[in-house]
């Protein structure tokens, strides 16, 4: 068990965490959510011993090992395989087959694992760091945006690996769907506190929203009550006959205390500037062929139209040409052959992954946004900057001094400001927190023009895509349907080809008698697991009942608050706390039983 007690941390007079306490139990897989800049990475660095809290303690069991996914690239070994094997603690077996399994899962091939890691691109270096964390045999994994630079197929592999992880992990990611498939508990940094519950991010934010609604309604009721008391005191303070009553009300008011108004949390405000466009077809792609080396084409014979209302997702493995296709469509590259014909009056909007290439770093944020506005309207540019969290004088910062995430927000601000009829977006959710991704997705759903986008965020794909361009196989092709229909109908061929290291032994064929004996062993083993599986099902049922009752209690609290029913509020609050403790205990028990089942299945006698 890991115990965090009375933790405080801040920088430059800005508090990030205030008097934070929580516990992490054995087998918990935690999602850590919260807005950018609210302390998620800082908490990770304190867990990893890279920073110290201002006060408070983090207590680990003796000998507890933590592996932290670092962004720094520092490699000392001659090839990728040796670099990954170096992460295995001294004294533990060097299992090359396991290192190869992880590297192949992260899309390295046999040739790449023999290369010098320092000669690879930044994306592949990130994968090496991830592989080192996964092989480290740590007690806890700290994973900060592990899906960056991964394609969808590799993300699927990573999700399955982490689902089977038997120890603890904490995960930061902007990809809600990826997180919710892995975790069993969710933890949020919210208003300088840490909230932790069993379940998913949606469940936690629903609970926070309900509690804050109750807080606000209670605060308003208290304010009305205070106003009545203040009126009574001011009216009868001078009357000697009522002096005792006045003093009594003053003392009661001081003892009671009143809830403070919650500070408003600013969200990114996405609303794209669609300019009316009457023609249906915006872009026509005819027999498109392209390769940086004409003898080695990335795209061949591709045909499709982009029409008003289309939301076309480009999906597939990295390095196959997804970003290249996007640049061809918006005229930043010229085809080797074939045509990309845009309507002569079309106004395109482009968002690229590499912000430095798309921004004039000598301009301020305000000037850069104004550069795409008709007439260079500085006042409107300042308001758009504010909607992207560059409020007041922050809009006067030079683009050259911005972080990667801030540059991405300036690019999005330019895209919002400029009138557009067709958007071309390359990984627009990168550098955004989970709430901002949700806001961006909603704004893109509402956009009335055409859109072509590249993303590995499956929530966005499910929410937006009306058809797909799939980079899978030799050349890309068009799939007419949603992302869910694609997964059900075809799926990624490359996911079916499982790369495996060479086996030292080959399995021989079994005789009929041996097959019968093996079948008997399997059946007997499965029968032995039935009591444990029944117990797990019963615990899951209890959790569901407790969660259903929790939702009912939260709804009843809202009603009681609106009626200012103090007795009901106290009773329901007590029941809610009891339910939270009960659910925590049930999830702890469920985690232990699932671990027990996984261990038994891993050691199956066949």
Q: Are residues 406 and 534 in the same domain?
A: no
Number of domains in the chain: 4
Compute the average pLDDT of residues 92-114: 90
The structure's pTM equals: 0.72
Residue 99 Rama label (left phi>0; alpha psi -120 to 50; beta): alpha
**Crossing angle for the helix pair 152-163 and 96-105, nearest 10 degrees?**
140
More confident residue, 282 or 605: 282
Query: In this structure, what CATH number is given to the domain that contains residue 34?
Result: 3.40.50.300
- Tens of pLDDT, residue by residue over 109-140, are 899 999 999 998 888 999 999 999 999 989 99
Beta bridge partners of 33: 188
Lowest pLDDT segment from 111-115, 399-403, 558-562: 558-562
Q: Are residues 174 and 234 in the same domain?
A: no
Q: Are residues 526 and 481 in the same domain?
A: no
pLDDT (0 to 100) of residue 577 = 81
pLDDT (0 to 100) of residue 140 = 95
What is the maximal distance between C-alpha atoms in the chain?
105
Q: Are residues 467 and 376 in the same domain?
A: yes
Whether 90 shows a pLDDT value over 90: the answer reads no
Residue environment code for 81-108, b if the CB has 16+ CB neighbours within 10 A, otherwise e: bbbbbebbeeeeeeeeebbbbbbbbbbb
- Tens of pLDDT, residue by residue over 187-204, are 999 888 998 988 888 888
Percent of the chain whose predicted confidence (pLDDT) is above 90: 41
Q: Are residues 200 and 214 in the same domain?
A: no
Q: Are residues 56 and 195 in the same domain?
A: yes
CA 150 to chain centre: 14
pLDDT (0 to 100) of residue 337 = 94
Q: Are residues 478 and 536 in the same domain?
A: no
Q: Are residues 408 and 336 in the same domain?
A: yes
Of 163, 185, 205, the residue at which a domain comes to its end is: 205
Q: Are residues 417 and 522 in the same domain?
A: no
Residues 389, 220: Cα–Cα separation, whole Å:
29
Query: How is residue 567 written in tokens?
Result: 């007795």
Residues 512, 77: Cα–Cα separation, whole Å:
50
The reply to whether 564 falls in a domain is yes
Query: How is residue 300 written in tokens?
Result: 């061949």
* Torsion angle defined by CA atoms of residues 378, 384, 390 and 396, in that order, rounded to the nearest 10 degrees: -10
Whether 258 shows a pLDDT value over 70: the answer reads no
The reply to whether 505 falls in a domain is no
Q: Are residues 197 and 319 in the same domain?
A: no
Residues 409, 336: Cα–Cα separation, whole Å:
34
Q: Are strands 185-190 and 193-198 parallel, antiparallel or unpaired?
A: antiparallel
pLDDT (0 to 100) of residue 498 = 45
The reply to whether 267 falls in a domain is no
Structural domain for 176, as ranges? 2-205
Q: Are residues 519 and 416 in the same domain?
A: no
Lowest pLDDT segment from 10-19, 124-133, 261-270: 261-270
DSSP 78: S
Of 469, 496, 523, the residue at which a domain comes to its end is: 496
- Tens of pLDDT, residue by residue over 480-501, are 999 999 988 888 876 655 444 4
Lowest pLDDT segment from 134-138, 326-330, 434-438: 434-438
Pick from 431, 439, 500, 472: which is nearest to 147 by CA?
431
Pick from 514, 511, 532: which is nearest to 522 by CA?
514
pLDDT (0 to 100) of residue 565 = 82
The reply to whether 506 falls in a domain is no
Radius of gyration of the chain (CA): 29
The reply to whether 454 falls in a domain is yes
Whether 241 shows a pLDDT value over 70: the answer reads no
Mean of the per-residue pLDDT values for the chain?
Answer: 85
Compute the average pLDDT of residues 171-180: 92
The reply to whether 263 falls in a domain is no
pLDDT (0 to 100) of residue 324 = 93
The reply to whether 504 falls in a domain is no
More confident residue, 606 or 580: 580
Compute the average pLDDT of residues 422-450: 90
pLDDT (0 to 100) of residue 544 = 82
Q: Are residues 61 and 197 in the same domain?
A: yes
Of 451, 471, 496, the residue at which a domain comes to its end is: 496
Compute the average pLDDT of residues 499-513: 51
The reply to whether 271 falls in a domain is no
Residues 336, 297: Cα–Cα separation, whole Å:
9
Compute the average pLDDT of residues 264-273: 76
Residues 58, 52: Cα–Cα separation, whole Å:
10
Whether 505 shows a pLDDT value over 60: the answer reads no
Q: How many CB atoms lie within 10 A of CB 602?
A: 9
Beta bridge partners of 236: none
Q: Would you mind telling me the total number of residues written for the chain in this entry?
A: 606
């Amino acid at each position: 068990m890991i115990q965090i007690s009375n933790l405080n941390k801040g920088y430059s007079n800005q508090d990030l965490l205030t008097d934070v306490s929580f516990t992490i139990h054995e087998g918990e897989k935690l999602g850590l959510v919260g807005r950018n800049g609210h302390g998620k990475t800082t908490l990770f660095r304190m867990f990893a011993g890279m920073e110290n809290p201002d006060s408070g303690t983090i207590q680990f069991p003796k000998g507890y090992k933590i592996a932290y996914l670092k962004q720094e690239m520092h490699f000392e070994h001659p090839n990728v395989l040796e670099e990954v094997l170096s992460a295995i603690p001294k004294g533990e077996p060097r299992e090359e087959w396991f290192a190869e399994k992880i590297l192949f899962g992260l899309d390295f091939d046999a040739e790449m694992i023999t290369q010098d890691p320092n000669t690879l691109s930044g994306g592949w270096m990130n994968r090496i760091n991830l592989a080192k964390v996964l092989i480290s045999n740590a007690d806890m994994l700290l994973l900060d945006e592990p899906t960056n630079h991964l394609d969808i197929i590799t993300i699927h592999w990573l999700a399955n690996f982490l689902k089977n992880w038997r120890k603890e992990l904490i995960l930061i990611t902007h990809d809600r769907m990826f997180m919710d498939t892995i975790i069993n508990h969710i933890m949020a940094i919210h208003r300088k506190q840490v909230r932790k519950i069993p379940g998913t991010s949606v469940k936690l934010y629903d609970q926070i929203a309900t509690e804050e609604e109750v807080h606000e309604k209670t605060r308003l009721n208290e304010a009305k009550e205070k106003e009545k008391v203040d009126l009574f005191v001011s009216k009868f303070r001078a009357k000697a006959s009522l002096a005792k009553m006045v003093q009594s009300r003053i003392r009661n008011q001081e003892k009671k205390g009143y809830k403070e108004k919650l500070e408003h949390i600013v969200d990114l405000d996405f609303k794209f500037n669609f300019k009316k466009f009457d023609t249906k077809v915006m872009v026509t792609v005819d027999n498109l062929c392209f390769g940086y080396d004409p003898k080695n084409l990335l795209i061949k014979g591709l045909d499709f139209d982009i029409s008003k209302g289309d939301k076309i997702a480009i999906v597939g493995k990295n390095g196959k040409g997804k970003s290249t296709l996007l640049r061809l469509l918006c005229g930043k590259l010229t085809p080797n052959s074939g045509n990309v014909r845009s309507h002569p009056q079309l106004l395109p909007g482009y968002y690229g992954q590499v912000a430095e290439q798309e921004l004039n770093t000598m301009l301020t944020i305000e000037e850069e946004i104004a550069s795409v506005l008709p007439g260079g309207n500085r006042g409107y540019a300042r308001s758009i900057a504010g909607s992207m969290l560059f409020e007041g004088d922050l809009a006067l910062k030079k683009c050259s001094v911005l972080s990667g995430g801030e540059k991405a927000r300036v690019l999005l601000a330019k895209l919002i400001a400029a009138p557009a009829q067709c958007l071309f977006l390359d990984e627009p959710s990168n550098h955004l927190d989970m709430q901002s991704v949700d806001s961006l997705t909603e704004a893109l759903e509402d956009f009335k023009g055409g859109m072509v986008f590249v993303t590995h965020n499956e929530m966005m794909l499910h929410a937006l895509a009306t058809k797909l361009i799939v980079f899978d196989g030799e050349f890309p092709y068009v799939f007419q349907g949603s992302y869910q229909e694609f997964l059900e109908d075809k799926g990624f061929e490359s996911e079916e080809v499982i790369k495996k290291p060479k086996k030292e032994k080959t399995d021989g064929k079994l005789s009929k008698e041996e097959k019968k004996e093996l079948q008997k062993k399997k059946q007997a083993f499965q029968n032995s697991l039935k009591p444990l599986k029944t117990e797990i099902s019963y615990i899951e049922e209890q959790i569901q009942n407790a969660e259903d009752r929790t939702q009912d209690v939260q709804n009843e609290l809202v009603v009681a608050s609106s009626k200012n029913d103090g007795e009901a509020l106290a009773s329901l609050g007590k029941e809610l706390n009891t339910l939270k403790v009960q659910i925590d205990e049930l999830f702890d028990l469920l985690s232990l039983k699932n671990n027990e089942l996984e261990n038994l299945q891993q050691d199956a006698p066949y």
